[in-house]
Chain A
Amino acid sequence: MCLAIPAKVVRLEDEGLAVVDLHGASLRVCTALAPETEAGEWVLVHAGFVIQRLAEAEVAEIWEALGQSDPSERGEGSAAAAN
């Protein structure tokens, strides 16, 4: 339950919401806990909330720790590959 997963912010929406690319899945999350979140940056998502902004260099290691492949290697526009 304390698992937090890196995601890339695709766009910001109204009322403190944002759409993120979470390993290929497009997901709407709340930015109330990190209101300075900007489109295009990597963030840490937990239970539908952005809890921290991340430097892109850190994302690969976090994914590796989670036993997943690194989504940052897929490049831009990966949100289109939502499953």
Chain B
Amino acid sequence: MLPQQFKREHMAQVLEGWRAAAAQVARPVAFMEVCGTHTVAAWRSGLHSLMPVTVTLLSGPGCPVCVTSQGDIDGMVELAGRSGVTFCSYGDMLRVPGKKGSLEQARSAGADVRVVYSALDAVGLAARQPRRQVVFAAVGFETTAPASAVAIQEAQRQGLTNFSVLVSHKRIVPAMLAISSGASPGGSSGGPSGGGGGGLAQVGIDGFLCPGHVAVIVGAKAFAPVVEECGLPCVVAGFEPLQMAQGLARLTELVRDKSPVVENLYPQAVTEEGNARALELMDEVFCPAPARWRALGAIADSGLGLRREYQDFDAAARFGLHPEEAPEPVGCRCGDVIMGRCRPVDCAMFGGACTPVHPIGPCMVSSEGSCQAWFKYGEGLH
């Protein structure tokens, strides 16, 4: 661990170099992080107020709770309310409102909704409750998907016929490509606009701060398509303020040098190839499939579907569930927030009708959501 004094001096050096690089770019630049943990770390550390005035850090679709489509949430709530079903979910999802309430409200109304820490906990529940159908909400990016794969294989090994998964996993790189295709590196008007208004609508995306823990699984090289297809630099960074500042400063230098490449500044945990065993297990159970994202809509190959050998564990098929796309809550601008089209504070409901205690949109529900992070740490930046 670096001594604090050294770290402060090091941060000062990074900021000085970053400001110099930003001045050399000589135009506003905007980078996007696509990781809820980065979102929170940036706000909590005050990084937004330290960065050069010409640099903007946008929070993209990196919070799994926030990007889960309204239709998928409605499907979860509907399934949880069915007789004989024990519905298992990570705790983050419980308070997201669907058109018929949240999982938490379904539980209050008598549904058997359980919060699990691990996907294997749901398998254990199924083994202990053979007369109930145990459904696991398989939500999250590549960090979480391998765990779902292990759980499904374990259920198969145990011969459990009362366990199934409602798959809503997401793959981050296809989403980054979808966003990038609307971005205009170097331009000032090409960004992911298309509505929403807000103070950031005219800012394009000049690069990505890549998610450290997703990268642990997929490896740094997984982001190469963003460079090759969109010409945007990608830097994998850790979550310590200094690490994030270094990552963003490096992105600024790469923009200055017109050198779009993938760089890994989190080698402590991330390798080029990723976690080979996790990728192997994920590939055994899942295959790329289209998925619906809040705000982004349907994106090809951006989700995961069960391979044929594991179709018996598909909860949607088992229970005849056909989630339909549903509109977002009236007035909610979470979609615009996720796409970087507006800041949380640009939403008329922010901090008034919508707060962490009484959230309306998922970005305020999730502890990793942009709105909740801004609500907690963004005072003074309104």
Residues of A within 8 A of B (CB): 1-4, 29-30, 32-35, 44, 46-49, 51-52, 54-55, 57-58, 60-62, 64-67, 70
Q: Mark B197-236, 1 if CB is under 8 A from A, else 0.
A: 0000000000000010110110000000000000000000
6 residue pairs A–B, Cβ–Cβ below 8 Å: A3-B368, A46-B144, A47-B147, A48-B120, A61-B1, A61-B240
CB <8 Å contact, A67 and B62? no
Docked CA distance A35–B268 (Å): 19
Residue from B36, B120, B269, B366 in contact with A30 in the complex, judged by beta carbons closer than 8 Å: B120
Chain A positions within 8 Å of B139 at CB level: 1
Nearest-Cβ distance from residue B136 to partner chain A, whole angstroms:
12
The smallest C-beta distance from B148 to any residue of chain A, in angstroms, reads: 9
Q: Besides the contacts A44-B216, A62-B239, what 15 more A-B pairs have beta carbons closer than 8 Å? A: A1-B65, A2-B37, A2-B211, A2-B213, A2-B368, A33-B147, A34-B277, A35-B277, A46-B143, A47-B140, A49-B150, A51-B146, A52-B275, A54-B269, A62-B240
Q: Which residues of A contact B247 (CB under 8 A)?
A: none
Q: How far is the CA of A40 from the CA of B18 in the complex (A)?
A: 39
The residue in chain B whose Cβ has the minimal distance to the Cβ of A33 is: B278
For the complex, is B64 an interface residue (Cβ under 8 Å from A)? yes
| Among B240, B243, B269: residue with most chain A CB under 10 A | B269
- CB within 8 A of B238: which of A30, A51, A57, A65? A65
Report if B41 contacts A (CB, 8 A).
yes
In the complex, how many angstroms separate the beta carbon of A21 from the nearest chain B beta carbon? 16
The range of chain B's interface size is 35 or more
Are B1's CB and A2's CB within 8 A?
no
Does the CB pair A61–B278 fall under 8 Å?
no
Please tell me if the beta carbons of B147 and A60 are within 8 angstroms of each other in the complex: no
Query: By the criterion CB–CB under 8 Å, are A46 and B213 in contact?
Result: yes
B-chain residues with CB within 8 Å of residue A2 when the two chains form the complex = 35-37, 62, 64, 140-141, 143-144, 211, 213-214, 368
Interface: B241 (CB within 8 A): yes
Contact B143 A4 (CB under 8 A): yes
| Docked complex Cα distance between A32 and B121 (Å) | 15
Chain A nearest Cβ from B66, distance in angstroms: 10
In the assembled complex, the Cα of A19 lies from the Cα of B240 at a distance in Å of 27
- Within 92-123 of B, Cβ neighbours of A (below 8 Å) are at 92, 117-121
Interface residues of B in 241-273 (CB under 8 A from A): 241, 243, 268-269
Kindly provide the distance from the CB of A50 to the nearest chain B CB, expressed in whole angstroms: 10
A52→B216 CA distance, assembly (Å) = 7
CA distance A70 to B119 in the complex (A): 28
Minimum Cβ distance to chain B for residue A32 (Å): 5
Q: Tell me if B63 counts as interface (CB < 8 A to partner A).
A: yes
Q: What distance in Å separates the Cβ of B246 from its nearest Cβ neighbour in chain A? A: 12
Closest to B93 in A: A1
Q: Is B160 an interface residue (CB 8 A)?
A: no
Chain B contacts for A48, CB-based, 8 A = 117-121, 147
Q: Are B213 and A4 in contact (CB under 8 A)?
A: yes
Q: A29–B146 Cα gap in the complex (Å)?
A: 14
Residues of A within 8 A of B36 (CB): 1-3
- The answer for the CA separation of A25 and B139 in the assembled complex, in Å, is 25
Contact B150 A30 (CB under 8 A): yes
The answer on a CB contact under 8 Å between B268 and A58 is yes
Q: Give every chain B residue within 8 A of A30 (Cβ-Cβ).
A: 118, 120, 147, 150
**Smallest CB gap from A17: residue in B:** B120
Contacts of B241 in A (CB 8 A): 65
A2 to B210, CA, bound (A): 13
B37 contact from A3, A52, A54, Cβ within 8 A: A3
B178 within 8 A of A: no
In the complex formed, the residue of A with least CB distance to B153 is A32
Q: Are B269 and A1 in contact (CB under 8 A)?
A: no
Query: Is residue B375 within 8 Å, beta carbon to beta carbon, of the partner chain?
Result: no
Min Cβ gap A38→B in Å is 15
Known interface pairs A1-B140, A2-B144; A49-B118 also in contact (CB < 8 Å): yes
Query: Nearest residue in A to B1 (C-beta to C-beta)?
Result: A60
Task: Give complex CA distance A54, B275 in Å.
Answer: 13
A67 to B148, CA, bound (A): 28
Q: Report chain A residues within 8 Å CB of B310.
A: none
**3 residue pairs, one from A and one from B, having the closest CB atoms:** A48-B118, A60-B1, A65-B240
User: In the complex, which residues of chain A have a beta carbon less than 8 angstroms from the beta carbon of B214?
Assistant: 2
In the complex, what residues of A have CB within 8 A of residue B296's CB? none
